[in-house]
Amino acid sequence: MTLVVESADEAVAGVSDGATVLVGGFGTAGQPMELIDALRRLGAKDLTVVSNNAGNGSQGLAALLAAGQVRRIVCSFPRQKDSYVFDELYRSKRIELEVVPQGNLAERLRAAGAGIGAFYCPTGVGTPLAEGKETRTIDGREYVLEFPIHGDVALIKAHQADTLGNLVYRKTARNFGPVMATAAKLTVAQVTSVSSPGSIDPEAVVTPGIFVDRVVACPSPAVLAEEGAAG
Amino acid sequence: MTLVVESADEAVAGVSDGATVLVGGFGTAGQPMELIDALRRLGAKDLTVVSNNAGNGSQGLAALLAAGQVRRIVCSFPRQKDSYVFDELYRSKRIELEVVPQGNLAERLRAAGAGIGAFYCPTGVGTPLAEGKETRTIDGREYVLEFPIHGDVALIKAHQADTLGNLVYRKTARNFGPVMATAAKLTVAQVTSVSSPGSIDPEAVVTPGIFVDRVVACPSPAVLAEEGAAG
Amino acid sequence: MSRLDRAGIARRVAADIPPGSYVNLGIGQPTLVADYLAPDSGVILHTENGMLGMGRAAVGDEVDPDLINAGKVPVTEPPGASYFHHADSFAMMRGGHLDVCVLGAFQVSFAGDLANWHTGEPDAIPAVGGAMDLAIGAKSVYVMMTLFTDAGAPKLVPSCTYPLTGLRCVSRVYTDYGVFLIEPDGVTIRETYGIEEPDLRGKLGL
Amino acid sequence: MSRLDRAGIARRVAADIPPGSYVNLGIGQPTLVADYLAPDSGVILHTENGMLGMGRAAVGDEVDPDLINAGKVPVTEPPGASYFHHADSFAMMRGGHLDVCVLGAFQVSFAGDLANWHTGEPDAIPAVGGAMDLAIGAKSVYVMMTLFTDAGAPKLVPSCTYPLTGLRCVSRVYTDYGVFLIEPDGVTIRETYGIEEPDLRGKLGL
C-alpha cells in the first residue's frame, strides 16, 4: 500500500544506520535532491549508497557524502568534473568504492527486483572488474556470474504520481528510478505532483504502485550537472 | 531499420523451414492472427513455435498447427477448453511439446533479448519441470539454471506503430509482445494503424523501433477465446 | 459452525486479506474471493497476464477482448490500473512484491508443498501456465480447496502424491472443514467447521 | 591524402555508417560523428541513459536538465524518439541490437581488445560508466583515436598494456593515419593518410 506523505522528512523516516540506500539519478537528472537532503537531516550513518555517480557539486548526494554519513558507495562513474566532494573523501580513504559497469548495475538491481538469484553476463569478461568472479562459457561465449543488488531503501525522483503510487517519469530523468523502485524493501518517490487515480494513462504507467511505499510532492526545479566524461 | 510493408504476406516473407517462431498473445488477446495466416499461406514447415498457448478454436495458431507446419511447440498452457486442434495432434504424437512455466517463458525470452547467457530462477524448484536441470543454492534459497529462448522470427500484434517502428499496445493484449520483439532476429508486428513519427508520446512507447523490423497495418477485430483454466 | 460452502470459504479468505494488500487470485474458486472483499478494503488485484488494479468481470458492452484476466475472462479497468508486459508481470510476482496469492490445489502437504497443476495421469496433456510462478511468488500463499476429494481422500496430506507445483510454499489452507496454518513446526488448526478438532486430526492423520 | 584531423576522422566514420543504422556514439570525440551524418541517412542515435532517437545538442531555451545524453550534455527530442529505463537501455545494448558503437580508446590490440576506461595509474579514481557495456554490446564497434600518443607511442598495439575494457570487441579503428580492419586473421590496413602503408606497418610492428 502506498502512503502519500506531507514532507520529505516524513518520507525518509525510519531509515536506519547501516542501511543500503539506492539513489536514483544519472548525474543530477532524476536525482532525488529533497529526499537526500532529508536523509542528511535524519542523520542515518554508515550507509552504503548505490547510485550511478558519486555526487555532483556540493548539493544532493554530494552533501550527504560531505556529511560523513556514507561508508561505502557502489557506482559506475564516481569521477566527474564536479565530483570534488567524493574525490577528496576517496583520496583520504574515508569512503569505500565499488565500481560496477553501468549496465551491470542496472541489471543487478533488476535481478533483485525480479527474484533472479544470479545471472551470467558478458560485460567485463577479461577485465579487471571481473577478476575473482566466477565465469562460464555458454554457446561458445564467456560470461561472468553477477549477483543481485538489494536495497533496504530506494530514494527516487519521478515526474508525477497518483495516490496509488503509480509513477511516470520525465525524459532521460527516468534512468535508474524504475529498476531501483523494484529492488528495495522500502521505496520512496519524490514527484512534482500527486493526483487522483485515473489521472495517469494505464498504458503509460512506468512504475506500478506496488513498487512504491511512500510518495511525497516536492516541486523542485531540475538542475544541470557539469558535463562529465563517459557517464 | 524498420520497414513498413503493405501486406501480411510481405511481412512474413523469407521465414524458412525449420525456423523458431515466437508468436505473441495470451489466448487470442495479442495473437497476431493475420501474420499467422500469412505464415500458413507461405507454407514454411518443421517450425518450432514458442507461444503461451497452443491455439484456440480453429483460427490463427490453431490453423497453423492444423496445417501440419509445426513440429514442436514450446508453451506454458497448451490445454484449454478450445485447444482441440493441438489436443488431437498431441495425442496422435504429431507434435512435440515442451511445457515451460509462464514466467520462465517470459524471462527466458527477455534474457535472449537482453544478452544474458543464463539465469538462476526460483520457479519450479523440486517439480517435474526442473528435473535434470542444474540447480544452485544462493543465500539459502535453491534456484534452477534457465537458458534464453532465441527466435528466428517473432510475430506480434501491437495497437499502433509509427513509421520508425515504435509500438504501443492495448490493455492486456500487450502480454508477450514486448519481450518477444527483443528476442528474435526478425521481428514482425501487425498493428491497427501506422502513423508518422511524433504521433506516439515518447514517454509511452513500449517497444522502441530498434526491435521492430517489419510493420504491417492489419485492421482486424479482436476476438475472445473461450475461458480456459490456469492461464 | 457448520461446514462451509464455496462462498463461505471465499468469505473466510477475504476476511483475512489485510486492507491495502496486493493480491493475485488464481483461476477457478479463488476468483470468488473478490466478491467478498470490502469495497473500501483498498485491496489491489494483480493478474499475471499484465495488469495491476484489475476490476470486476465485464458485463455487456464492457466486454473487450483485449482486456481479460488470467482465466481469459473479460474484466474491467478501474481508475488507477496499469498494464505491463509478461516479463515485468512475472518479475513482479517472482520478486516477492505481491502480499497474498490465493490458489486452488489438488493436494497440499503438511510441509506446505503444493500440487495443483497436474493430476499425474499418464495421458493428461501437461499444462502449467503461471501455477509454479504463483506458488513461489507471493509473500503469503493461501490455498482454498475442499478438504477431501469426491472419493473422500484427504487433500491435506503428509506428502503430495501428485506432481508438485512448488516446495514449502503454502502458508495457509482454507477448506470447507477448517483453516490450517502451515508453520515451521507443523500444521496448526486455526478453526474448524462442522467437525470437532480431534475428529479432523484423526481424519487427516495430523 | 594528408593526415586527418579530428573532423576528418569523424567524417570518415560517418561515411561508413550504413543508412538506417542504430548507433551509439561514445562520449568525447565520437560525438563529432553526428555532425557528418547525412540528414537523410536515417541513422538513429541511442544514448545509454535511456533514449533512442536522440537529437542534436540543445541550445538556448531548448536546454532541459531532464533531457541529457550520456555525457550529461543537454540534447533535443526529435519526433519518433522514445525513453526507457536503464535496465532496458543496457539490455538493448547487451542484447546486440545496436548496429554500430563508436568509441574512443587509449589502446586497441591487434586482436581487437579495447582499453579505454582506465590509465592504470595507481592513484587514479576508477570510473567505468558504460564503457564495458558499450564495448561488447553492438554488432560492430568502431574505435576512433589518434594513432599515436603525444609521446609518439602507438595506440594500436600487439597487446594492451592499459587495463582492458573488453576482449576482442573492436572491429575497426579509425585514426589520423589510417583505417584498420580487425579481422580473425589479423589487422588489415584499409587506407592510409599522409603516410605510406609500409612505413605505417613499420611504425606499428604490423
Write the CATH number for C62: 3.40.1080.10
C130 lies within 8 A of chain B by CB: yes
Set of chain A residues whose Cβ sits within 8 Å of the Cβ of C52: 208-210
Sheet holding A47-50, edge to edge: A3-5, A214-217, A184-191, A151-157, A20-23, A47-50, A70-75, A96-99
Interface of A with D in 140-199 (CB under 8 A): 169-179
Containing A186, the helix (H) or strand (E) segment is strand A184-191
**What SS3 state is found at B62?**
helix
Q: Which grid coordinates belong to B6? A: 503493405
Q: Which among D86, D92, D114, D169 is the top mutation candidate for probing chain A, defined by the most A β-carbons within 10 Å of its own β-carbon?
A: D86
Set of chain C residues whose Cβ sits within 8 Å of the Cβ of A210: 22, 44, 46, 52, 92, 97-98
Residue type, A39: L
pLDDT (tens digit per residue) in B77-89: 998 889 999 999 9
Is residue D89 one of the residues assigned to a domain? yes
Q: Distance from A153 to chain D by nearest Cα, in Å?
A: 19
Q: Which residue segment(s) compose the domain that D50 sits in? A: 6-204
Among B104, B129, B172, select the one facing C50 at the smallest CB separation.
B172
* Residue of chain C nearest A198, judged by CA positions: C79
**CB pair distance less than 8 Å for A97 and D91:** no
DSSP string of D79-118?
TT-EE--HHHHHHHHHTT--SEEEE--SEEETT--EE-S-
Q: Which residue has the cell 501487425?
A: B190
Round to whole Å and give the CA distance between A78 and D181: 34
3+ Cβ–Cβ pairs closer than 8 Å linking A and C? yes
**CB pair distance less than 8 Å for B113 and D95:** yes
If we measure between CA atoms, which residue out of B221, B220, B217, B214 comes closest to residue B12? B214
| Residue B76: CA count within 13 A, CB half-sphere | 31
Q: Which residues in chain B land under pLDDT 70?
A: 220-231
**What SS3 state is found at A12?**
helix
Work out the average pLDDT over A122-136: 97
Interface of C with A in 80-99 (CB under 8 A): 80-84, 91-98
Among B114, B138, B203, select the one facing A204 at the smallest CB separation.
B203
What's residue B225's pLDDT? 67
Round to whole Å and give the CA distance between A3 and A96: 34
Q: Which among A138, A203, A205 is the top mutation candidate for probing chain B, defined by the most B β-carbons within 10 Å of its own β-carbon?
A: A203
**Cα dihedral across residues C50, C54, C57, C60: positive or negative:** negative
Burial class (CB in 10 A: 0-12, 13-18, 19+), C183: exposed
Q: Which grid coordinates belong to D19? A: 543508412
Is residue D180 one of the residues assigned to a domain? yes
What is this structure's pTM? 0.97
Per-residue pLDDT of chain C (206 residues; tens, 9 = 90+): 799 999 999 999 999 999 999 999 999 899 999 999 998 999 999 999 999 999 999 999 999 999 999 999 999 999 999 999 999 999 999 999 999 999 999 999 999 999 999 988 888 898 999 999 999 999 999 999 999 999 999 999 999 999 999 999 999 999 999 999 999 999 999 999 999 999 999 999 98
Q: Distance from B186 to chain D by nearest Cα, in Å?
A: 11
Q: Which grid coordinates belong to B40? A: 500458413
Cα C39–Cα C41–Cα C47 angle in degrees, nearest 5: 90
Q: A217 with A194: CB under 8 angstroms?
A: yes
Is residue C110 one of the residues assigned to a domain? yes
Contacts 24+ apart (CB under 8 A), C25-29: C25/C101, C25/C102, C26/B230, C26/C70, C26/C101, C26/C102, C26/C103, C26/C104, C26/C131, C26/C134, C27/B229, C27/B230, C27/B231, C27/C70, C27/C71, C27/C104, C27/C129, C28/B229, C28/B230, C28/C71, C28/C104, C29/C104, C29/C144, C29/C145
* Residue of chain A nearest D127, judged by CA positions: A77
Q: Distance from D90 to chain B by nearest Cα, in Å?
A: 8
Q: B177 with C85: CB under 8 angstroms?
A: yes
Q: A220 with D119: CB under 8 angstroms?
A: no
A·C CB contacts under 8 A: 66
Work out the average pLDDT over A30-55: 97
**Cα dihedral across residues A109, B171, B112, D173: positive or negative:** negative
Is residue C1 one of the residues assigned to a domain? no
Is residue D1 one of the residues assigned to a domain? no
Is residue D22 one of the residues assigned to a domain? yes
The DSSP letter of residue D163 is P
* Residue of chain A nearest C18, judged by CA positions: A1
pLDDT (tens digit per residue) in D100-144: 999 999 999 999 999 999 988 888 898 999 999 999 999 999 999
What's residue B229's pLDDT? 45
**CB pair distance less than 8 Å for C53 and A162:** no
Q: Distance from D181 to chain A by nearest Cα, in Å?
A: 22
Q: Which grid coordinates belong to D172? A: 575497426
Is residue C126 one of the residues assigned to a domain? yes
C55 lies within 8 A of chain A by CB: no
Containing D120, the helix (H) or strand (E) segment is none
What's residue B222's pLDDT? 62
If we measure between CA atoms, which residue out of D27, D25, D40, D30 comes closest to residue D10? D30
Number of structural domains in chain D? 1
Alpha-carbon separation of residue C143 from C56, C93, C129, C155 (angstroms): 21, 17, 17, 11
Which pLDDT band, with edges at 50, 70 and 90, does A79 fall under?
A: confident
**How many other C-beta atoms can be found within 10 angstroms of the C-beta atom of residue B213?**
21
Q: Which grid coordinates belong to B50? A: 514458442
Radius of gyration of chain B (CA): 17
What's residue C7's pLDDT? 96
Is residue D32 one of the residues assigned to a domain? yes
Whether the predicted interface score ipTM is above 0.85 = yes
Q: Distance from C152 to chain B by nearest Cα, in Å?
A: 24
Chain C neighbours (≥3 Cβ pairs under 8 A) are A, B
If we measure between CA atoms, which residue out of A218, A227, A67, A69 comes closest to residue A156? A218
What's residue D186's pLDDT? 92
- φ, ψ for residue D137, nearest 5 deg: -95, -30
Cα B35–Cα D21–Cα B219 angle in degrees, nearest 5: 25
Q: How big is chain A, counted in residues? A: 231
